[in-house]
A and B are shown apart, each in its own frame.
Chain A
Amino acid sequence: EAGVVQSPRYKIIEKKQPVAFWCNPISGHNTLYWYRQNLGQGPELLIRYENEEAVDDSQLPKDRFSAERLKGVDSTLKIQPAELGDSAVYLCASRRRGASTDTQYFGPGTRLTVL
């Protein structure tokens, strides 16, 4: 089975520029997560989707971050404009909506550097 796919793997931009990250979850996984991970920290949830519905976006900085999952499959996370503090790894994960013991599977992440 194919894993979670993310692109790009690396992105370097100047501050105030826009950037977008793409995620394709594992087939059949209804739940999709976007996390941000800073160096030496655990992943912090930005937004969680159940199918196409954003059910938890309380940690998403809505002034500059946006996300969509229009058909309940692929998802895009956007930052506009980027700030220096946005430099981090952005991880996408998916999970089958079944038993509570079902686990998440992560993509390789996008490493963003804002100069």
Chain B
Amino acid sequence: RKEVEQDPGPFNVPEGATVAFNCTYSNSASQSFFWYRQDCRKEPKLLMSVYSSGNEDGRFTAQLNRASQYISLLIRDSKLSDSATYLCVVNGGNNDMRFGAGTRLTVKP
């Protein structure tokens, strides 16, 4: 079993749609969690950290459920520019950052 698993996707949604991505992790001692965004042929870049109480940044909402070892990312009112691959990242402790395989999103007009 992989340490970090994500919805395989791809997700193809129309502009304005709401889309949710899920991620599970196997290491119960994991300390911190992140969502990264990666555009085609570019490096991953931080989208947002995920806090225990859940957090929101504009149209993006991240949730963490430690009991179920589950992280989610919700994107509301999708824009064409949201098309990218979304990577779930888990810090297993001591700077051990592990990535999921990524979920590809395409937002269509």
- A48: chain B residues within 8 A (beta carbon): 95-96
Closest to B3 in A: A45
Cβ contact within 8 Å between A41 and B44: no
Q: Interface residues of B: mostly helix, strand, loop or mixed?
A: strand
Between A35, A100, A107, A108, the greatest number of chain B beta carbons within 10 A of the residue's beta carbon is seen for A100
Interface residues on B, range: 20 to 34
**Interface residue from A42, A44, A107 paired with B43 (Cβ < 8 Å):** A107
**Residues in B neighbouring A91, C-beta threshold 8 A:** 43-44
Interface residues of A (CB under 8 A from B): 31, 33, 35, 40-45, 48, 50, 55-56, 91, 93, 95, 97, 100-101, 103-109
Chain B residues with CB under 8 Å of chain A are: 4, 6, 31-32, 34, 42-46, 49, 87, 89, 91, 93-102
